Amino acid sequence: MIVGAIGDDFTGSSDLGLMLSAGGMRTVQYVGVPEEAAAHDVDAGIVALKTRSVPVAEAVAQSRAALRWLKAQGARTILFKYCSTFDSTREGNIGPVIDALRAELGDKGAVIVCPAFPATGRRVFMGHLFVNDRLLSESGMENHPLTPMTDPDIRRWLGYQTACGVGHLSLSALRSGKGDATLAAEAAAGRPLVVCDAIEDSDLFALGALAANVNLITGGSGIALGIPQTLGFSAATAPAWRGEAARPALCLSGSCSAMTRRQIEAHRIAGGAQRLLNVEDVVEGRTDFDALIEWASKASGLPLIYSSDDPAQVLAWQQRYGTGRVASAVEDAFGTLARLAVAAGIGRLISAGGETSGAVVGALGIDTLEIGPAIDPGVPALRATGRDLVIALKSGNFGAQDFFYKAAKVLAA
Ligand SMILES: Nc1ncnc2c1ncn2[C@@H]1O[C@H](COP(=O)(O)OP(=O)(O)O)[C@@H](O)[C@H]1O
Ligand SMILES: O=C(O)[C@@H](O)C(=O)COP(=O)(O)O
């Protein structure tokens, strides 16, 4: 293993997997920290954790354990993947995990911090994060159920979370070849966590080249765009892929993002079969999961079970039951639905939402996921190793309007 990555959620880890695999690296996504050694032919290993919204100490402990395992497999380029919208609270978990990984690596130099992913509209300029033509804090992410992003200045937000100083690599310094010197100067000045501007793929390739002299590279999947090339890999031909055309598909969505809600509407208009998971029933333990799976197996049109709702309704449930209680009850519900669906013969599973997908994959007892072709930027088709089960884990914000039907088709191919 050459590249070792730690992902703070499951959709994000598959997004990174797609980037590394498209760059020509044989990439495997592990579900949690494996107990066994990695296979010898793995170039890039991603340990997918569900640490984005857990207490800081838990995120730190799991990330440290992942790093130790990756180092033991020989990984020498270490990545920490978080969300391209920097999903976190003022308390963490991105800063504390970076601090811990840096300590574990004995790193005294600069750390690259860059959530930019231009292919999906995420750009960092003057240390501020944009989603398409909006600042992060006006992009809809200010309404996220667990990690509302109310400040677009990544330097300031990270500053709340870390014990280290936060520096900046400007676009002009990067483009004028002063990247290495700026990273070194920021680390020497006591600002080793360097937020890097990047607005085009060419900037990410430039950061990829700087990564050769950096011990810890952190960001969205865009940060890995230039890494395979820096390590001597060249763009891959399409990965070998075998879909599950003969087996039925089911979509599950716990993402409340604006994009997912548009995709749900498009699925309905296209003739998809839909059921809204009633949050009150879920929290009160009254949901009839078997009936839902029975309905899905008889549905005409692609079935979708969703809890996704608009910000006002999400807030109302959170005020009634508490944010953590609603989130974990709904996540557990999707885990149960996934387990029953696969037992009932579903072979193509499409899950929308990072936390949701963590619960789904966890409930299915999957150890590793192999990366297949792209469905949309940042969302690959995945196969559960050794099983007749293919999956798509969609980030809340990713995917085109027709994502659900498109994913079912790619998973069948
Ligand atoms: N109707 C709802 N009301 C409140 N919380 C919800 C509702 N539906 C889903 N959730 C919770 O919101 C969170 C959504 O996060 P996630 O699945 O990561 O989506 P995204 O990828 O859009 O961030 C999950 O914890 C989920 O259980
Ligand atoms: O970087 C990204 O935006 C995604 O890879 C990601 O992390 C997805 O997280 P969710 O939006 O919570 O699914």
pLDDT tens, residue order, the chain (413 aa): 999 999 999 999 999 999 999 999 999 999 999 999 999 999 999 999 999 999 999 999 999 999 999 999 999 999 999 999 999 999 999 999 999 999 999 999 999 999 999 999 999 999 999 999 999 999 999 999 999 999 999 999 999 999 999 999 999 999 999 999 999 999 999 999 999 999 999 999 999 999 989 999 999 999 999 999 999 999 877 667 899 999 999 999 999 999 999 999 999 999 999 999 999 999 999 999 999 999 999 999 999 999 999 999 999 999 999 999 999 999 999 999 999 999 999 999 999 999 999 999 999 999 999 999 999 999 999 999 999 999 999 999 999 999 999 999 999 99
Which secondary structure element, helix H or strand E, spans residue 398, and what is its range?
Answer: none
| Ligand nearest to the CA of residue 148, numbered in listed order | 1
CB of 282 within 8 A of CB of 333? yes
Q: Are residues 136 and 130 in contact, defined by beta-carbon separation less than 8 angstroms?
A: yes
Tell me, using a 6 A CB cutoff, whether residue 252 lines ligand 1: no
Q: What are phi and psi of 376, to 5 degrees?
A: -145, 165
For residue 44, the cross-strand partners are: 3, 27
* Domain boundaries of the chain, sorted by first residue: 3-230, 249-412
Q: Which ligand is nearest to the CA of 357?
A: 1
Is the Cβ–Cβ distance between 369 and 385 less than 8 Å? Answer: yes
Tell me, yes or no, if the two domains 3-230 and 249-412 fold the same way.
no
ipTM over 0.90: yes
Q: Is the CB of 397 under 6 A from ligand 2?
A: yes
Pocket test for ligand 1, best of 355, 361, 395 (most atoms within 8 A of CB): 355
pTM: 0.95
State the closest ligand 2 atom to the C-alpha of 13, by its place in the atom list counted from 1.
Answer: 5
Give buried/exposed letters for 280-304 (b at 16+ CB in 10 A, else e).
eebbeeebebeebbeebeebeebbb
Specify the DSSP class assigned to residue 47.
E
249-412, CATH topology level: Molybdenum Cofactor Biosythetic Enzyme; Chain A (3.40.980)
Q: Which residue of 84, 86, 313, 326 sits with most ligand 1 atoms within 8 Å of its CB, as the best mutation to test the pocket?
A: 326
CATH architecture of 3-230: 3-Layer(aba) Sandwich (3.40)
